[in-house]
Chain A
């Protein structure tokens, strides 16, 4: 069974601070996805990383896929209150197999 461990589980920071959340596994994935979920809504895809070592930037968010394709990180620069939410990582394998989800990191950015 493939598992994805996310850390930290909870994070509360002040607006303007930087933060990094992690998504780790002992298994190799063909790609890793990051979703953000806001209260009362379904998760929304932020990014997919496919190549080992790949770095993708989405405004103040930087996503990195580990060289061995077993882990990923999400770094937020100068966090804003609008970044508040649940961040989920999901691992994908080739074919039509289900995504493997981590349990998420709940981020709270305080003004």
Chain B
């Protein structure tokens, strides 16, 4: 199993550009989530999904969109990037009813 994979590893954007951060898992986990990690702020939940076709907002959803068309994939879209979205983004998954959460390696995003 590859676990949770994220692409790209690094990305530089200009303000106003759009992009999609990819996340995939091969463990057949129902629950997937996106976090951003900033110095001194810990992990903050952006969006999460409890299964295909179902998504919900987390603590900091503004400026981000998600969709969950398959169990495996959970992409995060930035429609118009802003410097405040400069951060490290982590995708995570877990099996429904289980507590162990598996994280991807992260995507480092710089918005100029």
Contacts and interface: CB of A to CB of B under 8 A. Distances in A.
A102 B42 contact: yes
Of the four ranges (under 10, 10 to 19, 20 to 34, 35 or more), the interface on chain B belongs to 20 to 34
B99 A48 contact: yes
Interface centre among A41, A42, A96, A98 (most CB of B within 10 A): A42
Interface of A is mostly: loop
B103 interface: yes
Interface of B: 4, 30-31, 33, 35, 40-43, 45, 48, 50, 58, 90, 92, 96-97, 99-106
Given A42-B92, A96-B50, A103-B41, 18 more contacts: A33-B101, A42-B90, A42-B103, A42-B104, A42-B106, A45-B101, A48-B99, A96-B31, A96-B97, A98-B33, A98-B45, A98-B48, A99-B99, A101-B35, A101-B42, A102-B42, A103-B40, A104-B42
